[in-house]
Amino acid sequence: MRQLVFLGPGTAEWQEAPEPVFAGEADAIVEPVAVATCDLDVAMLHGRLNPFSGPFPLGHEGVARVADIGQAVSTVSPGDLVLIPFQISCGSCPACTAGHTGNCTSVPQGAMYGLAPYGGPWGGFLADKIRVPYADAMLVRLDPAADPVAVASLSDNVPDAWRTVAPPLRDTPGSEVLIVGGGSSVPLYAIQLALALGAPAVHYLDPDTESLALAQRLGAAVAEGPIPRQLGPYPITVDASMSAQGLGCALRSTAPDGVCTSIGIYIQDTPVPLFEMYLNVVTFRTGRAHARPAIPALIQLITEGRLHPELVTSNVVPWDDAPDALANPPKKLVIARNDARTT
């Protein structure tokens, strides 16, 4: 079979690989049909994340069809359309039952698809077939009429956006939200989610003019120009800037007893305004999202017509064209087989 391998910035190629086989009765073998680039993929392909060097199989956001199941699998059947969370989780360990599926204790820390140097040898979604362990816990069956292209990023980036606004809005309903973006897709999903979950207004900052224009179309109040030192105060703030300046703005703009969530990956030590955070009793959250628990609620919002992740998609390309498209990927690329869309 073929799998797409990331070799370095701007370079990915199809390579031959062994077909996956069952490692246990709880496994499933699935055939990906629509795979989206994660914001991390885009940063790697543009050479903005030096520690992530190839080669390794690429892809960890996507929808697949079930090809085969182990004898212990009961929640999906061959032919089902399924969403695959990017993290590997058993569903039954203490971490998983607490909703912390990204820290499942049944697998090595950080186990995930598409980033072998950090996530382990699970392969990537840009392949003819992949093995899914703990299939009953992992796989989320979709309506047969669902558009795989529209929902592909529910594996990672949309749940990442969900955790920035859904829990804080649950705790402080009716709060306004400030989002400091950085030209990526997660903050744009967060705009939709915050408004769908009852935020009366979302204020959006981003040096990227293309993102600002889309944010405005999604319903955010946008501010052009450089990221300021402080705005607000806002009860809920989100840092998706990947910059010390953006992070500092989000933290300083968080209201007393407010919550700031950062989805950025800061490889270097980064200063934070701890004294101001201390005075305001700010809660700061960072780290990887626990994707699997959020997916059913996101599917429900899409079913109800309150969330439209497809509005963030920059481009959709055929499966075989993946290497060329990934040489210079846009903000959100979806790579789809010809039969991906069922309607």
Q: Where are the domains of the chain?
A: 2-156+290-336, 158-286
Q: What is the pLDDT of residues 118-144, one digit of tens each?
A: 999 999 999 999 999 999 999 999 999
Q: In the structure, what pLDDT confidence band is assigned to residue 342 with cuts at 50, 70 and 90?
A: very low
CA end-to-end distance (rounded Å), the chain: 28
Region 84-94 average pLDDT: 98
At 30-74, the pLDDT tens digits run: 999 999 999 999 999 998 876 678 899 999 999 999 999 999 999
Sign of CA dihedral 91, 97, 98, 99: positive
Q: What is the DSSP string of 157-170?
A: HHHHHHHHHHHHHH
The two most distant CA atoms of the chain are separated, in Å, by 58
Q: pTM (2 decimals)? A: 0.96
CATH number belonging to domain 2-156+290-336: 3.90.180.10
pLDDT band at residue 341 using 50, 70 and 90 as cut-offs: low
CATH entry, 158-286, from 2.40.40.20, 3.30.365.10, 3.40.50.720, 3.40.50.620: 3.40.50.720
CA angle 81, 307, 212 (to 5 degrees): 125
Q: What is the pLDDT of residues 139-152, one digit of tens each?
A: 999 999 999 999 99
Other beta carbons less than 10 A from residue 68's beta carbon: 16
